Amino acid sequence: MCGRITQKSNAKKLGLGLASADHVVPGVAPPRYNGSPGQEHWVIREQPETHAYSLDRLWWGLIPHWCKDPQGDRKPINAKAETIASLPSFRDGYKKRRCLVPIDNFFEWKAIKGAYKQPYAIGMKSGAPFALAGIWENWKRPSTEEWVRTFTIITTEANDLMRPIHDRMPVIIGPADYARWLSPDEPDPRDLLRPYPAEPMTMWPISSRVNKPVDDDPEILDAVGI
DNA sequence: CCAGACGTTGTT
DNA sequence: GTCTGG
DNA sequence: CCAGACGTTGTT
DNA sequence: GTCTGG
């Protein structure tokens, strides 16, 4: 599963060669060294009309458009690849509002029976940013009429690298498939929702300092070993 | 018909 | 135990 | 995901 | 908004 990410590279790199974010005001988009659900993160989308790609900040935790009061309701941070095409909360987004979440790493906790959990960082051997598959939604806050944009990350079964620590992992989209995943002309690209090959990936144990959901502590860099 | 849910994970 | 907040 | 709280009243 | 359960 996937409940913590890093977006430490600059916006140019996190655009993955598809999108840029030069319109973003400096200072409003700090790097995420230990990013959590409930925070804003970089997300790449395709504009339906112009087919241009954009890199924007969306809230992690999907709020369906029909939701009255997300205070009381849950905001799913993950959606299962196996069921996303049919579940009421996800199927419209899956058809029409797919996105890529560009990251440097994600974290996973290995549950050790009767004991602590050991956090791990997972990334590419190359150190390059890569893309997770997501879907997003628009939601209008009734009190202020303001539009809120949220996303959720799709999960699938673990690959050989991750299976020792966890039975699920986020869906990773390779560069060759960016365009297909984002294209509104592909209503059901479910063949992309499979475990990513283990070979280009790497994984290492990190300090449990990352347990604390604080992502602006510079010392977190040591914890992650970056 | 209306009311109520709508999600995932892990752990017991 | 379960929910909210980061 | 984990950490931390775990409450009520009335008024804006 | 749409589906399930009573």
Which domains, and CATH codes, for chain A?
5-221 (3.90.1680.10)
Kindly report the CA angle at A142 between A28 and A76, in degrees rounded to 5?
65
The two tokens of residue A130 are 């890569």
Asked if A14 and A36 count as a contact pair (C-beta separation under 8 A), the reply is no
Kindly tell me if the per-residue pLDDT of A206 is higher than 80. yes
What sections of A140-211 are H helices per DSSP? 178-182
ipTM above 0.95, yes or no: no
Q: What is the pLDDT of residues A162-193, one digit of tens each?
A: 999 999 999 999 999 999 999 999 999 999 99
pTM over 0.80: yes
- The catalytic residue among A2, A46, A67, A137 is A2
Query: Whole-number Å distance, CA A37 to C1' C6?
Result: 8
Kindly tell me if the per-residue pLDDT of A91 is higher than 80. yes
Q: Which of residues 58-97 of A touch strand C (CB under 7 A)?
A: 71-72, 74
Query: Does A219 participate in catalysis according to the annotation?
Result: no
- CB-based contacts of A146, cutoff 8 Å, min separation 6: A140
In this complex, the nucleotide whose C1' atom is nearest to the CA atom of residue A36 is: C6
